[in-house]
Copies of this chain bind each other. A is one copy, B any other.
Amino acid sequence: MTHVAYPCLTERILASFERQNAMHLIRATMPVVQPGLTEIHVPHWDGIEQQHGFVHGGVVGMIADTAGGYAAMTVAPEHASVLSVEYKLNLLAPADGEKLIARGRVIKPGRTLVVSQAEVFAVKEGRETLCALMQQTIMIMHGKVEK
């Protein structure tokens, strides 16, 4: 396992996540932040459903995008922030379960661009089903630290 890029990396990423109102709105948390890897969890609750009672595909996309973006931030230098350039998401199965877990990981770090991937799993009675796969490009903004 690689080590963290600089002290307080995890704290800085968690503090950034905390400032994202939209993550609070959907009741998302980020219990895992490791070098090159993050996890975002969302409980299934009625406010984030689509018309069939599954979690809305847009919410699946939100946590995939965010998990991949923070995974990229774990490999960025200290005085930098990250920006989502684009992502592509395949929805593989209905998001049916008690909660969703988005696992973001870095595929290719780089000075200016980082390519990340995220898998989103629906957890039902303890069993994980892959319900979405995302491939993403993140830009490193050097010298632009989040306040």
Distance in Å from the Cβ of A7 to the closest Cβ of chain B?
Answer: 21
Minimal Cβ-Cβ distance residue in B for A113 = B85
Residue contact A89 to B92, C-beta cutoff 8 Å: no
Residues of chain B with a CB closer than 8 A to A115's CB: 86, 90, 92, 133
Bound-complex Cα distance A49 to B86 (A): 18
* Residues 32-48 of A at the B interface (beta carbon under 8 Å): 46-48
Bound-complex Cα distance A107 to B88 (A): 15
Residue contact A137 to B19, C-beta cutoff 8 Å: no
Residue contact B133 to A16, C-beta cutoff 8 Å: no
Minimal Cβ-Cβ distance residue in B for A69 = B57
29 CB contacts below 8 A, A to B, read A21-B56, A22-B47, A22-B55, A52-B146, A57-B84, A58-B58, A58-B63, A58-B65, A58-B66, A59-B62, A61-B61, A61-B87, A62-B62, A85-B85, A85-B90, A85-B137, A86-B88, A86-B90, A88-B89, A90-B108, A90-B115, A90-B137, A107-B130, A108-B130, A108-B133, A113-B139, A115-B133, A133-B135, A135-B135
Distance in Å from the Cβ of A56 to the closest Cβ of chain B?
Answer: 4
Distance in Å from the Cβ of A36 to the closest Cβ of chain B?
Answer: 15
